[in-house]
Structure 1
Amino acid sequence: MVSVPTVDLRTWRTDGSPAVVDRALRTAGFLLVSGHGIAPDLRAAVRAQARVFFRLPEEDKRPYAVEVGGRGWLGPGAEANGYAEGTETPPDLKESLSFAAEGPGEDPSVGSEWFAPNTWPAEVPSLRPLVTAYLARMRRLSDGILELLGVALGEGETFFTRHTTRPTWGFNINWYPDLRTAGSPRPGQFRIGPHTDFGTVTVLDRQQGRGGLQLFTDEDGWQNAPYDPDALTVNIGDLMAFWTGGRWRSGRHRVLPPPVDEPAEELMSLVYFYECNPGTDVLGIDSHRYLREKLDAIRVR
């Protein structure tokens, strides 16, 4: 089992957690966080309503279809995360509902790309208020995590959050259907192929399963990710690794294909990608140009 510490966000300023965080992010790039304040009932309600959408006939979902980076439904075969590493893998065995930051941007050209309106499925009207409530909590939580990371890096609580006054974010509800729905995996095919996330910090509410999350470290290779139903999983992405000058590593991970001996296993993850303000210079890297290039890279054409 990969060593991934659990940090209580209510007490990290007094219990020595910053040093623990620094060590973990230098090896696996992952943490578990407790004391996050996101109610289990809200997480369960988002999943329940999203499941209503995913179980609709394909012809009802098709009007919401978008490509990677869009706001709407990413259907089967739309995405292959292994492409980000330059690996020609089969498409990922998943479907997603994708949402992102809304509202006018300070620069109209930035606003049209990164702050466009979301698409909400008319067939599931109760999904919108639930997701909106969840996202408001995620924004506050993510800034709190960035404060912890700033201290862990030895730079102070506002080192990262001074760049999140007008941040972009993405939110994917990933549905990993059972084997009977997805079909038998092809060689080298995963629910999500091996990759590192591209941005700043990812906050993941996941379910445990045989076809679940695995982490990679140089010391241990691929190992099952530790799981705590009361904790959220946090990993840093490429931009955060760049920001630290390579001190911390972007957490490499994958989601295993549906298990052959448990053909009915179905999982759903709530994945929040929190980014900095558009135009932020990360040690010479244009943050959002990098994000766009990576999103374009994993699109199946």
Structure 2
Amino acid sequence: MTEPVPSIDLTGDRKTVAAQVDAALQRSGFMLVTGHGVAPELRAATRAAARAFFALPADVKHRYAAIVGGRGWLPTGVEANGYAEGTETPPDLKETFAIGADTPVGDPDVDEAWFQPNVWPDEGPALKRTLTEYQAAMRTLADQLLELCAEALGLPTAFFAPTTDHPTWTLNINWYPPMGVVGEPEEGQYRIGPHTDFGTLTLLDREYGSGGLQVYTADGEWVDAPYDPDAFTINVGDLLARWTGDRWLSARHRVLPPQADAPDEDLVSLVYFYEANHDAVVEALEPPIGRVAHPPVVSGDFIRERLDAITIG
């Protein structure tokens, strides 16, 4: 059986790499990428700064509390990703610290919705420094990957550039606490419930664990996602799948709850959700590239609807 999440070296022959990307995203919507140029020291420093924040007392973290899609700290209990696909699940067993696009466009309503100022804790200045540097690296890599995606579709390299020159994005640092913190999982409860992502591409730097990432394959099975500490896990979001006329899959995935054989396990994931300009009109590519003629959607409206769906309360 073909590997559902293949590994692709971005430093390889460009034409070959583009063909590998197209094949991977048609089959599963997921791929591992190496040769991405992001320093391991930056990734480690970002994770260390995040762990220091999550280790703060709850009353301190509450000073920076935010809503889903906002900026700051999201405690356990405010989000259930399964609702985005219509699956009722208990709240996700995670905490999140989120930053997002913060360069305003000058329209107060738009800026309030999509370009709010980021919230930085007074405790631990390393968090602001490392997350700012890390998100800049992710933006660069995301743009490079979209250029590669355009080539993989047989389009001009700059095809996506006009609709991603002032994009919305979110960097979520997810902490998956051990069972001693969150308790015994309820039936059907996950660290993140089954869902698809919403935007164009998701760039994930994950840690390996028993209660880790699973991908729903084209064969209808949940399988553990392969892990390579040097690689980023990349997947297609709903917006890009729609853009490609469902040529590429926005695949379901989930993060398992804490496992009985590893009750003390805690994991930190760095998750960069890349979208498009808030007002970008996304139209499905026509055949022979696209396969389904979805009606046009506006990126911001499309993303907001999904964020609202996973919000509890």
Query: Counterpart in 2 of 1:152?
Result: 152
Q: Is 1:296 equivalent to 2:301 in the alignment?
A: no
Stretches of structure 2 that go unaligned for 5 or more consecutive residues are 284-295
For 2:68 and 2:32, how far apart are their aligned partners in 1? Answer: 27
CA contact (8 A) 2:4 2:30 kept: no
Any idea what SS the aligned residue of 1:162 has?
A: helix
Question: For residues 12 and 133 of structure 1, do their structure 2 counterparts lie closer, same or farther at Cα, with a shift above 3 Å needed?
Answer: farther
Q: Residue type of the partner of 2:218?
A: D
Query: Counterpart in 1 of 2:287?
Result: none
Query: Counterpart in 2 of 1:132?
Result: 132
Any idea what SS the aligned residue of 1:247 has?
A: coil
Any idea what SS the aligned residue of 1:77 has?
A: coil
Q: Offset at 1:180?
A: 0.8
CA contact (8 A) 2:4 2:217 kept: no
Q: Which runs of 4+ in 1 moved over 4 A?
A: none
Query: Counterpart in 2 of 1:182?
Result: 182
Query: Counterpart in 2 of 1:4?
Result: 5
For 1:143 and 1:253, how far apart are their aligned partners in 2? Answer: 23
Q: Is 1:204 equivalent to 2:216 in the alignment?
A: no
Q: Residue type of the partner of 1:73?
A: W
CA contact (8 A) 2:10 2:17 kept: no
Q: Offset at 1:37?
A: 1.2
CA-atom RMSD in angstroms: 1.2
For 2:63 and 2:13, how far apart are their aligned partners in 1? Answer: 45
Stretches of structure 1 that go unaligned for 5 or more consecutive residues are none
For 2:143 and 2:123, how far apart are their aligned partners in 1? Answer: 33
CA contact (8 A) 1:75 1:95 kept: yes
CA contact (8 A) 1:2 1:220 kept: no
CA contact (8 A) 1:211 1:259 kept: yes
For 2:149 and 2:13, how far apart are their aligned partners in 1? Answer: 11
What TM-score, normalized by structure 2, do the two folds share?
A: 0.93
For 2:206 and 2:263, how far apart are their aligned partners in 1? Answer: 19
Q: Deviations over 1:178-201 (max 9, x none)?
A: 111111100000000000001110
Query: Counterpart in 2 of 1:161?
Result: 161
CA contact (8 A) 1:4 1:31 kept: yes
Question: For residues 55 and 75 of structure 1, do their structure 2 counterparts lie closer, same or farther at Cα, with a shift above 3 Å needed?
Answer: same
Alignment of 1:52-201 (within 5 A): 52-201=52-201
Q: Is 1:32 equivalent to 2:32 in the alignment?
A: yes
For 1:12 and 1:281, how far apart are their aligned partners in 2? Answer: 32
For 1:240 and 1:159, how far apart are their aligned partners in 2? Answer: 13
For 1:64 and 1:91, how far apart are their aligned partners in 2? Answer: 20
Q: Residue type of the partner of 1:64?
A: Y
Alignment of 1:277-288 (within 5 A): 277-283=277-283, 284-288=296-300
Query: Counterpart in 1 of 2:290?
Result: none
Q: Residue type of the partner of 1:127?
A: L
CA contact (8 A) 1:216 1:253 kept: yes
CA contact (8 A) 1:96 1:175 kept: yes
Query: Counterpart in 1 of 2:255?
Result: 255
For 1:112 and 1:124, how far apart are their aligned partners in 2? Answer: 26
